[in-house]
Amino acid sequence: MGNGESADLVLSASWIVPVEPAGRVLENHALAVRGGAIAALGPAHEIDARFSPRERVHLDGHALTPGFVNAHTHAAMTLFRGLADDLPLDTWLAEHVWPAEARFVDEGFVRAGTRLAAVEMLRGGTTCFNDMYFFPDVVGEVARDAGIRAVLGLIVLDVPTAWAADRDSYFSRGLEVREAFRGDGLVTTAFAPHAPYTVGDEAFERIHELSERLHLPVHVHLHETAREVEDAVRESGERPFARLARLGLVNPRLAAVHMTDLLPDEIGELADRGASVLHCPESNLKLASGVCPVPRLAAAGVNLALGTDGAASNNDLDMLGEMRTAALLGKLAAGDATACPAADVLRMATLGGARSLGLGERIGSLVPGKSADVAAIDLGGPDTQPVYHPVSQIVYAATRAHVREVWVAGRRVVRDGVVETLDADEAVREAREWRDRIR
């Protein structure tokens, strides 16, 4: 064993769920990690015989999965967690969230809020998050320091904010952020126009042109509620989805969030044009926004991802909780207990999210050549025993408290449930200071 191939880490567990191929669960297998990537995956005895690693980790009773991809969030809004609960979306936004943002959001707010979010997400097995918020440069700095993968939303709005004074400023500042993080191993960028009701055609046309030229995803709230669609039709005679299609934005780079109100031909067009839908079930339930037709989208072949939305409307960033809700809600909405099976929901939370962000070749499944972004979930306790089907146990019985170890690009960032790259106590202290200012 001492003369084998070099490796940084050999990681083995009772089960490995690679996500690719779909539905496979491997028992008594191991991963070899070298240079932050998966060098090999195979039976544990074969990997042990082949590699001489600097470190060996065996996790009995655990399942290894790809790290979760939180495909839609507003990380810094952890500092608004619980600020305005039990309200409809329009009231929540216009009377509470937007005024609070106008008064309090600055670089310090975003830094503290993103740190708190990163601690929460890493502890829950999330290794990548797709963010849409102000000061994305600060979000990127925090993510890089925390060792968590991030897709920074280059936000665009038609109104001035603390981040940008006008439309041109949104684009110039956003492109500066893109340039600052080009080539970064963990941080990438995407255009993030807020929504059709806050962004005009001229901005969308410019986003389309730049997205095509720079190969950047376009991350946008779309058809979040039936009312949004009705208002657009009343004002312009056109559904928001049709408007984006007319402007050329319905293509493989589109990452459309929420999509609770869809016609059959819109579902077909999403599938035909290769766009992704980012499903946020708990936020939609809490705000009574509607239900995304996940089973119909899946049947049509649309790539589906899963996100928590921000902690101001969820109120957590818990991807395991989101998976369970997605599975149960999908079954109820379809009137079919076979809809949204556990393996499909886990795929949404991993490979589906990666593909929606243009990262499907790098993360989202445990296959050789991809980054070693791994979550270890302890299924050995009384609340997850006995284990007949590990994937079902992960989706229907496990919680984020069962996530014990996490690696990002081969770097251990959570050890025995404790985040090693950030000071959780300091993040909590900062959050309490902001609470005292805000309230």
Share of the chain above pLDDT 70, in %: 100
377-386: pLDDT as tens digits: 999 999 999 9
Which residues, 6 or more positions from 352, have their beta carbon under 8 angstroms from its beta carbon? Answer: 69, 71, 276, 303, 304, 305, 306, 364
User: For the chain, how are helix, strand and coil distributed in percent, rounded to 5?
Assistant: 40, 25, 35
For 281-307, b where at least 16 C-beta lie within 10 A, e where not — what string? bbbbebbebbbbbbbebbeeebbbbbb
As a whole number of angstroms, the distance between CA 64 and CA 29 comes to 10
145-157: pLDDT as tens digits: 999 999 999 999 9
As a whole number of angstroms, the distance between CA 95 and CA 89 comes to 10
- Average pLDDT rounded to a whole number, residues 120-133: 98
Which residues, 6 or more positions from 99, have their beta carbon under 8 angstroms from its beta carbon? Answer: none
- Average pLDDT rounded to a whole number, residues 220-232: 97
Q: Please report the pLDDT score of residue 1 as a whole number.
A: 46
Give all domains of the chain, ordered by start, each with its CATH number.
5-66+374-408 (2.30.40.10), 68-356 (3.20.20.140)
Contact 69, 107 (CB under 8 A): no
As a whole number of angstroms, the distance between CA 71 and CA 60 comes to 30
Contact 15, 27 (CB under 8 A): yes
160-205: pLDDT as tens digits: 999 999 999 999 999 999 999 999 999 999 999 999 999 999 999 9
Share of the chain above pLDDT 90, in %: 98
Q: Please report the pLDDT score of residue 154 as a whole number.
A: 98
- Average pLDDT rounded to a whole number, residues 28-36: 97
Question: Does pLDDT of 2 surpass 60?
Answer: no
Q: Please report the pLDDT score of residue 436 as a whole number.
A: 97
- Taking the alpha carbons at both ends of the chain, their separation in whole angstroms is 60
